[in-house]
Amino acid sequence: MSSNMQAMKQMRPALVSLTQQQARRRCFKLYRNCIRSIPHLIQHYNLSYNMSEMRNRFRSNFVEFEEVTEKNQLDRLAFIGETELFDAMSLLKTRSHVVNYFDTQPVNAKTISESEKLLNNFFE
């Protein structure tokens, strides 16, 4: 737990990646820290989700922007994610904020449901 907090504190400054590979590595580092934080979020905020559901929720945010290759944009997205995770792990968010995050699914073409696909085909 303390090592995880140290890792997240080191993530806090808004680093500027020199290469696109470095920015990608930063995003993967953020994803790993998100997964490591799932047990602690469950305890701190008294959540009742499955860990696989929470992991898929984190993953959906990363899949949502998987077409982004510009390193400046990756840095901005990673910084937003790092700040959100740091605030959650530092108990600066309330339970309603965290529950709202996990209950709200991002709108993404890959995660669209079958019925919505059917409706889209119908409207075309």
Interface positions with another protein (CB under 8 A)? 1-3, 5, 25, 28-29, 31-32, 35-36, 38-40, 43-44, 51-52, 55, 59, 62-63, 90-91
**To the nearest whole angstrom, how small is the minimum distance from the Cβ of residue 55 to another protein?**
7
**To the nearest whole angstrom, how small is the minimum distance from the Cβ of residue 120 to another protein?**
26
Residue whose CB is less far from another protein, 109 or 123:
109
List, in order, residues 6 or more apart from 40 with CB less than 8 Å away: 1, 4, 89
Cβ-in-10-Å burial (0-12, 13-18, 19+) of 92 comes to exposed
32: closest CA among 51, 58, 9, 57? Answer: 58
Residue whose CB is less far from another protein, 92 or 109:
92
**To the nearest whole angstrom, how small is the minimum distance from the Cβ of residue 124 to another protein?**
30
**To the nearest whole angstrom, how small is the minimum distance from the Cβ of residue 100 to another protein?**
22
List, in order, residues 6 or more apart from 71 with CB less than 8 Å away: 17, 19, 20, 22, 23
